[in-house]
Structure 1
Amino acid sequence: MQEALYEGKLFYLKSYLDTVDNIKAELERLKKRADKGAFQCPYCHDTLILKSGNIREEHFSHRHSRSCEISEASEVYHQQVKRESKAHSVMKEIIYNELKGQEKMNESMQVDYGYIAKGKEKWRYYPDIIVKNADKEIAITILTNVTANKDEKLVRQIRNRNRYYQNKGMQTIWFVEDAEMSVDMNHHVIHLWEAELDIAIKTEEDLKWENVLNHLPIEEPLFKLFDYHHRKAPQSFDVRSLYYVHSTETEIVFTVHRFIVDEMEYPFRAFALNEGYRISLSKALLTKQTIQLSDPEVEEKNRELFKEIVKQKALEKTERGRKGNIIGEKQNVNISSHTPPQKSRKYFSQKLSNNEQRLFPLLDEFLQNAIFDYVQSASIISASNLSRYLVNECGAPSETFSTGRFKIYSDVCNFLDYLAEQGIIQLLRKDGVNDRIYGSC
C-alpha cells in the first residue's frame, strides 16, 4: 500500500518520493522511522513497515504479512491506476475535496474513495471516488495517459470496469485529461480514442439535444448541410457527452463536449455540436440527486444558437440552388444569397476610412461587403461560422493556424466589432477564445 499515517496525517509514499532528489538515501531514512513504529495503517491502525526491492516498487506493508481488508483493496486500486499520469492524483484529490465540501451541506450525501467505500466487499475494480446520494451511487473515474498503442488494451479494461460498476447498480462518470481532446470545428468533427467513445455518457442535456435535432425543420440531412464528412446519414441522432478536465496544482476546470455519434470503428470520430464550453468545478459537480455536469443556461443558449445556425445554412443552400452561380466582381465566386444590393454596398464602402481599413488587412472590399450583407440577413452571427463561409463561398484566404482556425478569423472579429460600434449589430457573448457571437440590433 502507498498510504500511511505519519505524525497524525496521511502520508503518500510515491507522491513524496517524486519530490526528493536522492530516493535511495531518503528510503533509508524512511525505513528507519518505520522500524521505530512511526507509520500506521490509516484503516486498522496497525504498525506498518516499509519495503523496497527490485521486483515491486516501494510500499508499506503490515507486519508479519497480515493486512486489513481496506489495505488489500488499496493495493488492488493502486495497481489499477498505476498506468495513469502524475496529473491523475492531483485531479482526484481536488475533485474529492470539492465533493467533500458539498457533503457537509447535504445530509443524504456520502463521499469516499472507491477502495475505502467498497473495500470490505472485495470488489474486483474500484472507481477513484464513490458518491452516494440518497439511494443512488455514482462511480467517478479519471482517465489520463491514453496513447495509440495503449488504447486497444485500455478499451478492454474500461469496458470491464464500466460493466462491473453498472452491474453493481452504479451510475458511471468518467473525466478525461484534456491533453486527449481533439476538436476541429472547421469540419465540425471531434476525433476520439476508442476509449473516449466507450466512456461517453448520455445525460438529461444530451436527451434535450436529441429532441432538438430530431425535430429540425430541414429537408436536407444535417451532416450534408454542414458539409460534414460521413459515410451515411443517421436515421435518428444519438447524442453523447465527454467531460475533459484541466488541472493545475490549485484548481480544476471542466470542458463539456457534446457530439452526435458517427464512426464506431477506427478512426473514431463524431459530429461536434459546438466547441464545448468551460464550467467551474463547483458547478460541474453540483449534486442534487445526481452530479449536474453542465450549465443549464449555457446549454439552452447553445441549442438556440445551433437552431439559428441550421436555419441560416438551410437558407444559404436554398438560395444557392435558386440563384445558381453568381459571378463575383473580383474572383468569379459564388457569393450565395449574400450578394448585397449595389446601393448598400456603395454606401457601406464609403463609410470606411483608410485607418479603419487597416484594422482588417485580410478583408478586401469584396469580402467586407459580403460580411455586411451576411449580417443583415442573419439574426445570429458566429464569427467562426462566418469565417468558414467566407472561405468556402466567397474565396477568402484559406490559410489556417496549427489549431485549424482560419487566419482571417481575427480580421472577421475586428470587422464585426466595427459593425457593432456602428450600431448595425451587437456582441452577444464571447466563448473564451473559441468564438464570438453577435446578433442583430
Structure 2
Amino acid sequence: MIYIPNSETFNIVTRITYKYHFIGGSIMREAWHTNDDRLYIISQNLPAPEIDNHKQIAKKGTFICPYCKAQLYVKSGEILGNFFSHLHGESCEASKQSEARYSKYEKQKKNDTPRQPHIVALINDELNVLAKVYPHVTVILGYLNQDFSKHIPDITLKINDYKYAITIVTNITVSTDQAIAKSIQNQKNYYASLGYEPLFFIERNHLGIDIDGQSLVLWKTELQALTSQKADIHWKDFLKQLGELEDLQAVLKLPKTDLNVKSIMYITPANEAISIEAFHVLEHPNTLPPKAHFFAMPYKLTFSQAFKINDENLSLADLDIEINNQSKYAEHFLQAKEAFERQLEEKALLAKLAAEENRKQAIENQQTYLERYSQSNYVKSDKDKKRELVMKAFLSNN
C-alpha cells in the first residue's frame, strides 16, 4: 500500500522554509527503484530500523531520480519526515516542479479528513493491479503527472488515449461546502481542457435521502460532482423508449426537466470494506437545498468491479444489474400508469356525476321558482300597473 501524506503530516510553511534554507534544494517523495523497475513512494510510517535500511540501499544505488536519472539518497527528520534527495540537495528542475505540484496538491487537500489519503492509496493500489494486467493502462498519482499545474487530481488513469482525473472528497460542511463546490467546478473545467474526464467520489457519510424515498438532498459540492457515465446514457435511452417525457413526469413524478441523466458516486470510508455506490439521477430545477430524483437504490461495487475496463473505458457499473433495475423500473412504470389512468377515469366520472347533479339541481330550482311565482298574491293587472309606474319614472328622469 502506498501512503500519501496529508496536511497533518507536513506543515506546508515550515516545510518550505526548511527546504530552501536548510537543504538548499527540493525534497522528493518519489524515486525510481532500479531493480523493481517501478516508481516507489517512500512511506512516512517506516520504523527507525527500516529508515536506516532505506538509507543503506540508497547509498548502493537502489533509487534514482525518475526525471534526470541521478542517484538519490534517503533522508529523514522530524519536520520533513522521510524523503529522497539528490546529492547535496542539488535537485533537477523536473523534481522541483514535482515538489511544487505536491505543495499545490497539499493545499487543495487541506480540508479533507485523515481518511482521504488512505482511500486514495487503496484506489491507487487497485488501479495499479489493472495496469499490470492491461498494458494499455497507465496509472499516475496526480502530483506526479506533469500535465497538471493549476489544479491537481488525486490519481490519473489513462486507457489507451482516454484519460481520467480522479478526485476523492471526504469533508463537506456548512462552512466548506460553497468553497469546495466552486473548486470542483474549476477543476472540472481545467481537467476537461487538458483532455481528461473528471471523476469525483464523495465519501458515503454525506449521503442524504429525502423523506419521499425517491430523491437525494445534496450539498452544492455533490451537485457539482455529478458526471455523465456510460450507465447514465443507458438509462437515458431506456427512459426514452419507456414513454413520452410528459407521461413519465406525470406518472412517475419526475422533475420538470429533460432526460439528462447523471451519476453521483459515493465511496465508503477507509475504515470499512471499500466499495462504490452510484446513483443515477435527474436534477430537480430551482430547489434549495438542491435535490435530485434517483431511479433505483444503488448497489455496492468492489473496486475491481467498479474499475472494470469495458470497451476500453471504465464501466463504473454492472450493466447486468442496471438492466435488471431497468426491467423492474419498467414494471413499476406500467403499474403506476394503470393507477394514474384509473385516477383520471375516476376524476372524469366524478366530474360528470357532479355536472349531472348540478343540472338536476338547476331544474329543481327552476321548478320551485315557477311554482312559487304561480302562487304569488300579485294578479296580472297589479303587475301591469307596477310596470307602467316604473316606465313613467324612467321617462321622467330621462
Once the two structures are superposed, the pairs formed by residues 305-324 of structure 1 within 5 Å of their partners are: 305-323=328-346
| Shift of residue 166, structure 1, vs aligned partner | 0.6
SS of aligned partner of 1:241: strand
Residue 126 of structure 2, aligned match among 91, 98, 121: 98
Residue 279 of structure 1, aligned match among 294, 298, 301: 301
| Alignment partner, residue 203 of structure 2 | 177
1:210–1:237 contact (8 Å) kept in structure 2: yes
Gapped regions of structure 2 (runs ≥ 5):
1-26, 349-398
2:163–2:196 contact (8 Å) kept in structure 1: yes
> CA 1:313–1:88 in 2, change beyond 3 Å: closer, same or farther?
same
SS of aligned partner of 1:142: strand
Larger CA Rg, structure 1 vs 2? 2
SS of aligned partner of 1:305: helix
SS of aligned partner of 1:79: helix
Residue 302 of structure 1, aligned match among 325, 328, 332: 325
Matches of 1:281 and 1:220, distance apart in 2? 38
Instruction: Name the structure with the higher helix share.
Output: 2
1:30–1:50 contact (8 Å) kept in structure 2: no
| Alignment partner, residue 86 of structure 1 | 114
Residues 315-324 or 80-89, more deviating: 315-324
Matches of 1:275 and 1:73, distance apart in 2? 39
Query: Kindly, what percent of the aligned residue pairs are identical?
Result: 19
Normalised to the residue count of structure 1, the TM-score between the two structures is 0.60
Residue 12, structure 1, aligned to residue 43, structure 2: yes
RMSD value, Cα: 3.7
Question: Could you list the per-position Cα deviations for residues 270-298 of structure 1 after superposition, in whole angstroms to 9, with x for gaps in the alignment?
Answer: 11212211122111101141111000011
SS of aligned partner of 2:300: strand
Gapped regions of structure 1 (runs ≥ 5):
21-25, 326-441
| Shift of residue 319, structure 1, vs aligned partner | 1.9
SS of aligned partner of 2:242: coil
Matches of 2:329 and 2:345, distance apart in 1? 24
Residue 150, structure 1, aligned to residue 176, structure 2: yes
Once the two structures are superposed, the pairs formed by residues 75-224 of structure 1 within 5 Å of their partners are: 75-116=103-144, 118-119=145-146, 121=147, 123-184=149-210, 186-217=212-243, 221-224=247-250
SS of aligned partner of 1:278: coil
> CA 1:48–1:156 in 2, change beyond 3 Å: closer, same or farther?
farther
| Shift of residue 212, structure 1, vs aligned partner | 2.6
RCO higher in 1 or 2 (8 Å CA, sep ≥ 6)?
2
| Shift of residue 86, structure 1, vs aligned partner | 1.7
2:58–2:72 contact (8 Å) kept in structure 1: no
> CA 1:216–1:166 in 2, change beyond 3 Å: closer, same or farther?
same
Residue 269 of structure 1, aligned match among 274, 285, 291: 291
Residue 242, structure 1, aligned to residue 264, structure 2: yes
Question: Could you list the per-position Cα deviations for residues 98-117 of structure 1 after superposition, in whole angstroms to 9, with x for gaps in the alignment?
Answer: 1111111212111121222x
Question: Could you list the per-position Cα deviations for residues 70-119 of structure 1 after superposition, in whole angstroms to 9, with x for gaps in the alignment?
Answer: 33323332232222112211211111111111111212111121222x23
| Shift of residue 314, structure 1, vs aligned partner | 1.6
Normalised to the residue count of structure 2, the TM-score between the two structures is 0.66
> CA 1:305–1:76 in 2, change beyond 3 Å: closer, same or farther?
same
1:113–1:130 contact (8 Å) kept in structure 2: yes
SS of aligned partner of 2:176: helix
